[in-house]
Amino acid sequence: MQVGLTSYLIVAALLFCLGLYGVLTRRNAVAILMGIELMLNAANINLVAFNRFVAPAAVAGQVFALVIITLAACEAAVGLALVMAAYRSLETIQVDEINLMKW
């Protein structure tokens, strides 16, 4: 049996949903960022899979995957810097305890 495009898309979908679950249910800001990284990875699998099966001659999908990896790194750097800043001023990184702006 051949492993087709659909199999990769399903794995990516499952990975994406796991990431989504992590983002929705975690209290810890770092863990939320980890969920986002999983989602970005899922998107990358899709891009590379489409590249392979839909337009093999062009490498557009791989180029986009590289750009997304770059953006993921930037997002992690800035996001974690925010976590550090929040921790310094609020002494916590649990997002449900960071509620100063509620009132």
Partner 1 sequence: MPKVLLDWFYVAVFAVVGTLMAVLPLVVVWLLAPRADLPQKTITYESGVIPFGQAWAQFNVRYYLFALVFVVFDVEVIYLYPWAVVFRQLGAFAFAEMLLFLLVLLVGLAYAWRKGALEWV
Partner 2 sequence: MGELAAFMILSLVTLIPAVVVVTSSNIVRAALSLVPTFLGVTGLYVMLQAEFVAGIQVLIYAGAITVLILFVIMLTEGGTGVRTRQLNDQVPLGAMAAVWLAFVLIVIFTRTGWPTAAGVLPAYNVVAVGNAFLSDYVLIFEVTSVVLLVSLVGAIVIARRED
List phi, psi (to 5°) of 89.
Answer: -90, -25
Token match 């750097």: residue?
A: 77
Q: Which of residues 54-73 bind partner 1 (CB under 8 A)?
A: 66, 69-70, 73
- Work out whether 80 is an interface residue with partner 1 (CB under 8 A): yes
Residue 98 interacts, among partner 1, partner 2, none and using kind-specific CB cut-offs from 5 to 8 Å, with none
Interface pick for partner 2 out of 60, 98, 99, 102 (rule CB under 8 A): 60
Selection from partner 1, partner 2, none that 90 binds (CB < 5 to 8 A by kind) is none
Tokens, residue 53: 């099966």
Tell me if residue 28 falls in helix, strand or coil.
strand
Q: 35 is written with which tokens?
A: 């969920």
Nearest distance, CB of residue 24 and partner 1, angstroms:
26
